[in-house]
Structure 1
Amino acid sequence: MDLLKPRVLLVDDEAGLRELVQVYLENSGFEVIEAADGLKAEAELKNEAFDLVILDVMMPQLDGLTLCRMIRSSQVDLPILLLTAKGEEADRLLGFEYGADDYVVKPFSPRELTARAKALLRRSVKFQQTNEALLRYPNLLIDNARHWVEWFNQEIILTPKEFSLLILLAKKPLQVYSREQIMSLAWGEDYLAELRIVDVHVKNLREKFNSIAPFNYLQTVWGIGYKFEVPR
C-alpha cells in the first residue's frame, strides 16, 4: 500500500473495462483495488480504507445502488462515483438519493472518468481542510471544520454534497441561487449533471431535518432556485 496515493475501489463486472480504467487511474497517481461484483466490493470495504469508490450500477449478486446505500449508511464522507447506462436517468436520480456524489454515463472516456475522480477528491480534501467559523441560527448549528450539523441539539448526518449545498446557502441568508449556480459554487465548475439533481439533494436535506422538527430554512424560489431564510 502506498500511503501517498489516493486509494480507489473500482467495482464493475466487466473485466475489460476494469483493466482499462485501472491503467488510466494508476497512470494518474491512484492506487486501484478491483472488485468484480458488489459482494466482493462489500468485503473489501469492510477490511480496507479507501478514498473513493467507483461503482457500476448494474451488477450481479449485489447491485450498485444497493451497495451505494450501504456504503453511505456507514461512511458518510467517502466519495462515490456511479457508472450508469446511457439514458437511465431514474438510476442516476435514485443514486443521488442514496448518497452518490457524481456519475459517468457508459460508454465513457477514461480521461473523463479520471478527471471526475480527481475532482471528487479535490472537493473532499478541500472540504476536510476547511476551517471556518461556526454558523449559528435558531436551533441550528453548522460546524464547517468538523462537518457537523445540529438541529434541535440532535446531529444530522449529511453527505459531502448535501453539506456543501447547505453551507453555500447558509452563508448568505436571503441570497437566491439558481440550480446552475448551486452546481457550480457548491460542487465545482466541473460538475455536470441534470439540474434536477439539485432538487433531489434539497429534498434529501429537508427530509433529514424534518425527521427531527419542521425545517423551514430552505426556501424554494419558484422559477429560479433556492435560498436560505431564517424564519421569523
Structure 2
Amino acid sequence: MSVNAASRPDLRRPDGLPVRVLVVDDEPTLAELVTLALRYEGWDVRSALDGATAVRTAREFKPDAVVLDVMLPDFDGLEVLRRLRAESDALPVLFLTAKDSVEDRIAGLTAGGDDYVTKPFSVEEVVLRLRALMRRTGVTETGSDATLVVGDLTLDEDTREVHRGGQEITLTATEFELLRFLMRNPRRVLSKTQILDRVWNYDFGGQANIVELYISYLRKKVDAGREPMIHTMRGAGYVLKPAG
C-alpha cells in the first residue's frame, strides 16, 4: 500500500471528529483494501458488499462520502446513488467501476456521481480523489478560505453557504465546486476544457455534455426568476458576471 498519509494534512469533520466514509464493493478483497487505506488516513470507515446493505448502513452511519462500485449483485450503484441522494442530496459519491469508456463515465456523472475511478486503480488515486471531494464539501484542513462575492451572489467557503440577494441557495457538492470556480474567475470566459479539468479532473475530448448539464443545474438555482449572471459564450465557454 503506497498511501502516505503522514505527508498530508489531516482532514476532519467540522465537529472535529474523523471523516466518515462508506465503501461499497461486491469484491470483499477490494473492499477491504480500500477500507484499510482510508482507515490509514485516520477516517472512520464502514463497508458493504451489496446495494441493500449499503443503503441500510448509510442511514445508520450517515457518511460524509461514499466510494461506490457500479456493478453490485442486487441493484447497481446508480440505484444506490438514487436512494442515498433521496435522503441526502449533497452526499459526495466516488464511483468505482471496471467500465472505462467515455459513455460509462458520463452515465455515472450525469446520474449525480461527483467523481469516477476505473478498475484497476491505485488505492492512492482513490484516496486523493476522495480527499478532493471532502474539501469540496467542507471537511477542510483549515478554516481560512474567503467569502467570494460577485454582484449580489455570495459564496462562503467555510460554511458552504451560498446566497443571492440574501436568499439561500442549496447546492450539491459538484454544483458548489463549479460555482466556486466561476466565482473565482468573474467576468472571465472559461472553456469547457478548463471547467472539466478544474471541477472533474477529466478530459472528455469534447464528447461529454456534463458541463452543459451542470451549468443548467446552476442556472435553475442561481438565475431562476432573476436577471441572469451565468452566460454562454458560443464557441468559447461560460462566464459569470454581476447582473445589470
Q: TM-score, normalised by structure 1?
A: 0.78
Give the secondary-structure state (helix, strand or coil) at the position aligned to 1:45: helix
How far residue 142 of structure 1 moved from its aligned partner, in angstroms, is 4.3
CA distance in 2, matches of 1:215, 1:67: 37
CA distance in 1, matches of 2:136, 2:150: 24
Give the secondary-structure state (helix, strand or coil) at the position aligned to 1:203: helix
CA offsets, 1:126-162, max 9 Å, x none? 3994653463646x55444433334677643211221
How far residue 193 of structure 1 moved from its aligned partner, in angstroms, is 4.9
Specify the alignment match of 1:162 in structure 2: 175
1:72 corresponds to which of 77, 85, 99: 85
CA distance in 2, matches of 1:198, 1:128: 29
Give the secondary-structure state (helix, strand or coil) at the position aligned to 1:53: strand
How far residue 175 of structure 1 moved from its aligned partner, in angstroms, is 0.8
Cα distance change, pair 165–31 in 1 and its aligned pair in 2 (3 A): same
CA distance in 2, matches of 1:34, 1:155: 35
Specify the alignment match of 1:227 in structure 2: 239
Specify the alignment match of 2:50 in structure 1: 37
Specify the alignment match of 1:89 in structure 2: 102
Specify the alignment match of 2:111 in structure 1: 98
Q: TM-score, normalised by structure 2?
A: 0.75
Identity of aligned residues (%): 38
Specify the alignment match of 1:177 in structure 2: 190
Would you say how many aligned residue pairs link Structure 1 and Structure 2? Answer: 225
Specify the alignment match of 1:24 in structure 2: 37
How far residue 192 of structure 1 moved from its aligned partner, in angstroms, is 3.4
Specify the alignment match of 2:217 in structure 1: 204
How far residue 205 of structure 1 moved from its aligned partner, in angstroms, is 1.9
Quick check: 1:76–1:160 contact (8 Å CA) kept in 2? no
Quick check: 1:97–1:204 contact (8 Å CA) kept in 2? no
Give the secondary-structure state (helix, strand or coil) at the position aligned to 1:126: coil
Cα distance change, pair 111–177 in 1 and its aligned pair in 2 (3 A): same
